[in-house]
């Protein structure tokens, strides 16, 4: 957002015209691929014993049947977890999270949400995230951590019993896992929509500039 002034630190941290460093781009697309596999196979698994009064359309599930869905889910989980862990470590180690996502202030969020809803939120400088972006990106990282932890807890409710206890018990971990998925899907819709509205942001996530 143009009205936000970049600090010296932010300027020096983004030399030349590289907006998205290579590691961010690689991990972003691996994550996108793994996440879609996890969601579609997860819907297959959900359909075997729905938590609510609906099922996901079969055409949008992966694996053909419960057994196939589980094989996909427990294969793609490694990709998701290893890539996610590498992303978190690199994000903290390089200071990218601190530089890009902080601070998040209530007044800043309010201001930018209002600006976004009246289509006045600019994207002139892609190296600086506005408060709406900061909130969504930080939030989705937290949701990603939660969905992995609740998933691991459901996978190993005896061996990782302490993890299940964090969420209450096995059935509550299942609900947490589901609602995290729902949050990720909602994020995905907004994220893709905004990327298409601001195509240069999509280009930056592909070629870096």
3-state secondary structure string across the chain: CCCCCCCHHHHHHCCCCCCCCHHHHHHHHHHHHHHHHHHHHHHHHHHHCCCCCCCCCHHHCCCCCHHHHHHHHHHHHHHHHHHHHHHHHHHHHCCHHHHHHCCCCHHHHHHHHHHHHCCCCCCCCCCCCCHHHHHHHHHHHHHHHHHHHHHHHHHCCCCCHHHHHHHCCHHHHHHHHHHHHHHHHHHHHHHHHHHHHCHHHHHHHHHCC
Check residue 167 for interaction with other proteins (CB under 8 A): no
> Which of 17, 114, 120, 156 is close enough to bind other proteins by CB under 8 A?
156
Number of chain residues interacting with other proteins (CB under 8 A): 34
Among 2, 5, 64, 82, binds other proteins (CB under 8 A): 64
Q: Among residues 52, 158, 189, 199, which is the contact residue for other proteins, using CB under 8 A?
A: 158
Q: Which member of 27, 38, 174, 181 binds other proteins (CB under 8 A)?
A: 174
Of 105 and 159, which CB lies nearer to other proteins in the complex structure? 159
- Near other proteins by CB under 8 A: residue from 171, 196, 197, 207: 171
Contact present, 156 and 74 (Cβ < 8 Å): no
The yes or no reply on residue 107 touching other proteins (CB under 8 A) is no
Residue 139 within binding range of other proteins, rule CB under 8 A: no
CB of 179 to other proteins, least distance (A): 15
| Residue 40 or 132 having the CB closest to other proteins | 40
- The reply to whether 185 sits near other proteins by the rule CB under 8 A is no
Q: Name the CA dihedral angle for 160, 149, 57, 68, rounded to a multiple of 10 degrees.
A: -50
Asked if 40 touches other proteins (CB under 8 A), the answer is yes
Judged by beta carbon, residue 63 or residue 91, the one nearer other proteins is 63
Binding stretches for other proteins (CB under 8 A): 36-37, 40, 45-46, 48-49, 51, 58-68, 70-72, 74-75, 78, 155-159, 161, 170-171, 174
């Amino acid at each position: 957002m143009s009205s936000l002034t970049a600090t010296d630190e932010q300027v020096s941290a983004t030399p030349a015209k590289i907006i998205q460093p290579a590691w961010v781009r690689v991990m972003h697309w691996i994550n996108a691929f793994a996440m879609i596999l996890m969601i579609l196979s997860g819907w297959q698994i959900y359909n075997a014993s729905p938590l609510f009064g609906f099922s996901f359309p079969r055409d949008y599930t992966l694996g053909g049947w419960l057994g196939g869905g589980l094989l996909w889910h427990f294969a793609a989980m490694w990709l998701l977890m290893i890539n996610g862990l590498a992303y978190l470590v690199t994000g903290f180690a390089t200071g990218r999270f601190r530089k890009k996502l902080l601070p998040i202030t209530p007044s800043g969020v309010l201001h930018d949400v209002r600006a976004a809803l009246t289509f006045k939120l600019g994207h002139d400088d892609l190296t600086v995230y506005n408060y709406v972006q900061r909130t969504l990106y930080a939030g989705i990282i937290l949701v990603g951590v939660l969905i992995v932890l609740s998933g691991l807890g459901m996978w190993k409710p005896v061996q990782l019993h302490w993890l299940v206890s964090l969420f209450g018990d096995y059935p509550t971990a299942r609900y947490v896992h589901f609602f995290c998925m729902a949050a990720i899907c909602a994020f995905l819709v907004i994220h893709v929509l905004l990327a298409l509205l601001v195509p240069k942001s999509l280009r930056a996530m592909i070629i870096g500039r």
